[in-house]
Structure 1
């Protein structure tokens, strides 16, 4: 669940996305109803200098997700689980340009729902 969310939330294509928030809109299938509603209400992201550069290069992101091997996460219970992954993101322009690598840790809190476990909270660091 956390792997899919992390990959989707970081997979961006400037030729179809108006801003980086579009990736989060695509990730709602992994979220519980409350968090999905909050993501749906989120305002568009401000157009940063980085985003403008990505648009110039018609960039998309290559995303790799790997297991997390850092600090211990809180123990799982019947009502809550924690999962973390490492995400490596590299913007790639359609002209061959490659931007700097970004590495993030994504920690997800999952809770059971009527359709299985869903992400009820997350932190990206």
Structure 2
């Protein structure tokens, strides 16, 4: 696999972590998609992130409440719903959202974009971000790596680990930034296990007031 070049927001197909699943063959992939490196160990903190300056935190308009679904189809790998965590805790919300965004099940999912839709429908994301991800349908069919996973009827197990970042600005009542290292490991039938994919992820969370729940307003992979 080749490495990501620079930073990009989580966009079509969930997935800076698995853009390699969408792009056939080797290299950087087609269109605006790039392949992510599967690192053998956790990358060190970068010390820099896609953050606003601490002295001038970003402001955002109030977000309308996003209803939670009455029921969801649960993919293998273990996802959670917002009601399962303390939604006033930015760490808990960002970790839960990452697990949903990077949990794929090739026995039920047609591609990585399905995980984005699950996260949007579950209420992890702001209304604007959820609408953007739903609208950004993948323009290519799942590629070579996804096909390999599908042959093994694989699903991913996702382990996010919070990573310190010296450039992270302090939280405000309505805005927070978090950096995580996400490891997604595919496993399938007959005890098959694929190579883990590891990326560093930055999340921007917002809420309307200090006693309101956090939601993810943007995701960027470095």
The Cα of 1:75 is off from its aligned counterpart by 2.4
CA contact (8 A) 2:178 2:202 kept: yes
Equivalents in 2 of 1:63, 1:121: separation in Å? 19
Q: CA deviation at 1:71?
A: 3.9
Higher strand share: 1
Determine the structure 1 residue equivalent to 2:127.
33
Q: Contact 2:174/2:208 (CA < 8 Å) preserved in 1?
A: no
Q: Where do 1:106-117 residues align within 5 Å?
A: 106-113=201-208, 116-117=213-214
| Residue among 8, 12, 28 paired with 2:104 | 12
Alpha-carbon separation, structure 1, partners of 2:113 and 2:166: 29
TM-score, normalised to structure 1, is 0.90
Give 1:1-125 correspondences, 5 Å limit: 1-28=93-120, 29-44=123-138, 46-113=141-208, 116-125=213-222
Whether contact under 8 Å (1:32, 1:113) holds in the other structure is no
CA distance 1:113–1:33, change in 2 (3 Å): farther
Partner-residue secondary structure (3-state), 2:189:
coil
SS in structure 1 of the partner of residue 191 of structure 2: coil
Gaps of 5+ in 2: 1-92
Which is greater in Rg?
2
Q: Compare the two structures and name the one with the higher helix fraction.
A: 1
Q: Distance in 1 between matches of 2:221 and 2:156?
A: 17
Q: TM-score, normalised by structure 2?
A: 0.53
Unaligned runs of 5+ in 1: none
Pairs aligned (count): 125
